[in-house]
Amino acid sequence: MAEVTSPGCKRGIPGNVEMPLAVERLPNGNTLIADAGDEAGFGSEIVEVDPVGNIVWNYNDGLQFAHSGRRLKNGNTLITDTTNNRLIEVTPDKKIVINSDEWGSGTGKLSDGSHLHYPNEAFELEDRTFLVTDRNNDRCIQLDRKGKVIWAFEKELQHPHNANALPSGNILIADSDGNRILEINRKKEVIWSYGDGSIETLWWPRSGIRLENGNTLVTDSKNHRIIEVSPHGKPVWTFQTEHVDKFYITQATKEGTFLIACTGHHQVIEVDRAGNIVWLFRNFRRPAPIFARLTNGFFKELGNDGNPLHWVLARRLSEGGGKVVWENNHKPSSCPGLEFDRPGTLFLQQDIAVKPGSTYRIGGDIKTIDVKGTACLMVDFFDSYGASLYRDITLMPSGEFFTGTNDWVHDIFEVRVPPRATYAELRVSINNSGKVFVRNIMMNLI
Amino acid sequence: MALDKLVSEKRKRQCAKLIEISKDIVRQAFDKFKLEELGITWTGGKDSGLTLWIIRQVCQEKGIPLPKTMIIGEGDEFEEIEQFVERIKKEWNVPLEVCRNEDVLKAANDMLNAPVKVKDLNERNRTELKRIGFDGDEFPFEAESYVGNHLMKTVVFNQFLERNRIKGIFQGLRWDEHPARFDDPYFEYKEEGHLMPEHTRIRPILHFTEKDLWDTYAAFKIPYCPLYERGYRSLGAKTTSLISVEGVPAWDQDLENTEERAGRRQDKEKAMERMRQLGYM
């Protein structure tokens, strides 16, 4: 019998903000939040919240891992529907008036023959064109409302997540995997930058905005801080949480406070310059149950969806690909695997209650076929607000890493539960393409 | 190639300091527990070997014999380790107990990778399987598998504690050998649990890096198993341990930039790099 320590809730409940990525304060005082949804890929939506936390508008039709929602002057909302590789504009009564899928005679292609690939951010410029941060194409581009590429910056960028235009016409780009912020002019010259590439200075910055005082406020995501930098590159102010929390987008309000989308604690906070949280929106309820111990590690029980019972197929980061497959001729019973065909990451995972300081041995048998990236067993730990305790996936405890084709091998590793952890997430993980099969997964206190 | 590299006087003094820290832990253990309440885990490998050598130094100071020492027989040992253990046992007078899970060995007919049927095991082993959540009807006889590891190592370890009423047990773990060890304490108290007696784990050489360890072996001419000369860096069971760099002794390998427990499948760092490039998480 499965013993559940903490039940999960239904997935995809409209209004439940699982992973706020972008945020902006609207002229009417409400706050617009882009919610990427839960780990299984449900519940992505754009929500508008009033100052006391009522949801006054939302849009969720078909969105997959939407990264931004921006309210336009005409009252419509511009949405980057990231995993669907499209940009849409919707009216207040939820009619789509622009859909990039229809560009290029219905192919979704832009005028240069390319297709948006994992767009993360889009703003409307003064001339009603769009400035789009096209993450997986490593570029930011200006498009007219029919998909014509008017301007593009595609030099030297590594997975940029946000580009926004300054009053001067220059553009501030968060070059996330380059660990820097760039200001470029229309001639595509870099006229200012911050970040020396080291993770101490900036680690995966997700956005940069220019403040009225001329300084630049950077959302330094994996360092769980926002940092204000002078034009000379001197840090002059920082807000950093004690807990690890990947901040995604920060916006400055008219009042001089900062709105931050916090993916770790599943909330939006508004902080003042003294470091006070002056407003907060959080209505997150975790969909995944937490089990008292690893359950169905031998994959004998099947769920209604054909996946192993009590295991979650986490497709949020899988860029639209990935599924559970079964090796049916395996004796004595079938064993599950993950099949994946693109960049990104796919997990089969389960949450298990743990006690800080205790040590667990985790292991099982694992087999891989043509894995281009890496497949492994790994474990992530979370605090009581549901934030991972790790700043980066490579810091999480894991078993052996497998690439290519490997027949069944035993894999064992030990982990000590870090302070503040309330539950562990045990994962079978694969990134890039290939197949990984697992059997006899165990996790035991030692 | 034998470990005959020259260690400078300065380096030797540094190693001596590391040994002093370890000896202090050992002395504290002797203050805390009676001799007969203490036990030592030994594998014939470099870490437990250094630990044993240090404990022996303290015992010689105090004029007492070594505490009872266990070595686990997994049924898949290197002959070189067996010979080395036999030699040191005689030279150092080690009160050695070879601990084996005879019931599992019997069920597997002593044949590596033979299927062990759960129904052929005794009640204790079957209960242990339940405890770790094992749900199958059989498993292969192999000490490096999850089940094998538990039955042939953990259970045998707990039984050694039980049988000898051991309260404090020395282990040769080091902080730098594995990420899960980073914050292990020198003394770790373990409450009595299901099928596990109350005991304290004592880890005197936690602070030694792999390089410190080999420099100490060289500086103080501590005996070691010759497999390390052939390129093994970490010794487990015979069929699952691999040479890291063929023909290059462990101490001459790039200890700081490569993985001690590598030697199988692939370079973890490269895989890490690939994962980093994905950006997410």
| Per-residue model confidence as pLDDT tens digits over A260-290 | 999 999 999 999 999 999 999 999 999 999 9
pLDDT at B280 over 80: no
Q: Which domains does chain B have, with CATH numbers?
A: 9-231 (3.40.50.620)
Give the pLDDT of residue B269. Answer: 58
Q: Are strands A4-6 and A290-291 parallel, antiparallel or unpaired?
A: antiparallel
Residue at A347 is within a domain: yes
Which of A262, A281, A300 is where one domain is finished? A281
Mean pLDDT of A421-429: 97
Q: Would you call B278 and A431 a contact, using CB atoms and an 8 Å cutoff? A: yes
**pLDDT, tens only, B92-120:** 999 999 999 999 999 988 888 888 999 99
Mean pLDDT of A26-34: 97
For residues A318 and A268, membership in a common domain is answered with no
Give the pLDDT of residue B262. Answer: 52
Q: Would you call B146 and A361 a contact, using CB atoms and an 8 Å cutoff? A: yes
Residue at A197 is within a domain: yes
Domain span at A332? 290-445
Which CATH number does the domain housing residue A381 bear?
Answer: 2.60.120.260
For residues A371 and A395, membership in a common domain is answered with yes
Residue at A1 is within a domain: no
What average pLDDT does the structure give for chain A? Answer: 95
Which of A281, A308, A341 is where one domain is finished? A281
pLDDT at B174 over 80: yes
Mean pLDDT of A115-124: 97
Q: Would you call A177 and B179 a contact, using CB atoms and an 8 Å cutoff? A: no
pLDDT at A331 over 80: no
For residues A79 and A184, membership in a common domain is answered with yes
What average pLDDT does the structure give for chain B? Answer: 87
Residue at A154 is within a domain: yes
Q: Find all residues with CB under 8 Å of A384, minimum gap 6, and list them.
A: A420, A422
Give the pLDDT of residue B256. Answer: 75
Give the pLDDT of residue B266. Answer: 44
With beta carbons under 8 A apart, name residues in chain A contacting B272.
Answer: 394, 401
For residues A255 and A318, membership in a common domain is answered with no
Give the pLDDT of residue B265. Answer: 39
pLDDT band of residue A119 (cuts 50, 70, 90) is very high
Overall number of domains in chain A: 2
Annotate A413-431 with b (16+ C-beta within 10 A) or e (fewer): bbbbbbeebbbbbbbbbbb
Annotate A80-96 with b (16+ C-beta within 10 A) or e (fewer): bbbbbbbbbbbeeeeeb
With beta carbons under 8 A apart, name residues in chain A contacting B271.
Answer: 374, 376, 401, 403
For residues A256 and A404, membership in a common domain is answered with no
Q: How many CA atoms lie within 13 A of B197 on its CB side?
A: 18
Give the pLDDT of residue B240. Answer: 65
CA–CA dist A37, A19 (Å, integer): 6
Mean pLDDT of B190-196: 85
For residues A79 and A49, membership in a common domain is answered with yes
Q: Is A374 on the interface with B (CB under 8 A)?
A: yes
pLDDT at B244 over 80: no
Give the pLDDT of residue B183. Answer: 77
% pLDDT > 70, chain B: 89
Window 307-326 of A: residues touching B by CB (8 A cutoff) are 317
For residues A345 and A430, membership in a common domain is answered with yes
State both tokens at B83.
């010979």
Mean pLDDT of A411-422: 93
Residue at A4 is within a domain: no
For residues A228 and A357, membership in a common domain is answered with no
For residues A268 and A185, membership in a common domain is answered with yes
Window 129-168 of A: residues touching B by CB (8 A cutoff) are 159
CA–CA dist A175, A206 (Å, integer): 8
Strands of the sheet containing A130-134, edge to edge, are A119-124, A130-134, A139-143, A149-153
Nearest Cα to Cα of residue A157 among A186, A125, A191, A180? A180
Q: Are A263 and A317 in contact (CB under 8 A)?
A: no
Mean pLDDT of A68-88: 97
Q: Are B200 and B192 in contact (CB under 8 A)?
A: no
Mean pLDDT of B9-17: 95
CA–CA dist B137, A347 (Å, integer): 28
With beta carbons under 8 A apart, name residues in chain A contacting B277.
Answer: 177
Nearest Cα to Cα of residue A182 among A233, A237, A142, A125? A233
pLDDT at A184 over 70: yes
**pLDDT, tens only, B224-243:** 999 898 888 887 766 667 77
Mean pLDDT of A207-223: 97
Pairwise pLDDT comparison (A294 vs B7), residue with the higher score: A294
Give the pLDDT of residue B239. Answer: 66
CB atoms closer than 10 angstroms to residue A112: 11
pLDDT band of residue A422 (cuts 50, 70, 90) is very high
Give the pLDDT of residue B148. Answer: 87
Which of A281, A315, A330 is where one domain is finished? A281
User: Between A and B, how many residue pairs show a Cβ–Cβ distance under 8 A?
Assistant: 106
Of the candidate ranges A166-180, B150-164, B174-188, the one whose mean pLDDT is the lowest = B174-188
Give the pLDDT of residue B263. Answer: 43
Q: Would you call A431 and B274 a contact, using CB atoms and an 8 Å cutoff? A: yes
Residue at A232 is within a domain: yes
Give the pLDDT of residue B143. Answer: 77
Q: Would you call A443 and B265 a contact, using CB atoms and an 8 Å cutoff? A: no
Q: Would you call B281 and A317 a contact, using CB atoms and an 8 Å cutoff? A: yes
- Residue written as tokens 């903490």? A6
**pLDDT, tens only, B261-274:** 654 334 555 666 66
CA–CA dist B17, B20 (Å, integer): 5
Which CATH number does the domain housing residue A125 bear?
Answer: 2.120.10.30
For residues A277 and A348, membership in a common domain is answered with no
Mean pLDDT of B67-95: 92
For residues A301 and A275, membership in a common domain is answered with no
Residue at A233 is within a domain: yes
For residues A196 and A304, membership in a common domain is answered with no
pLDDT at B76 over 90: no
Mean pLDDT of A249-269: 97
Pairwise pLDDT comparison (A334 vs B85), residue with the higher score: B85
pLDDT at B88 over 80: yes
Nearest to A414 among B145, B180, B265 (CB): B180
Q: Would you call B275 and A412 a contact, using CB atoms and an 8 Å cutoff? A: no
Mean pLDDT of B167-179: 89
Give the pLDDT of residue A446. Answer: 84
**pLDDT, tens only, A299-324:** 999 999 899 999 999 999 999 999 99
Q: Would you say how long chain B is, in residues? A: 281
Residue at A5 is within a domain: no
With beta carbons under 8 A apart, name residues in chain B contacting A410.
Answer: 142, 144-146, 148
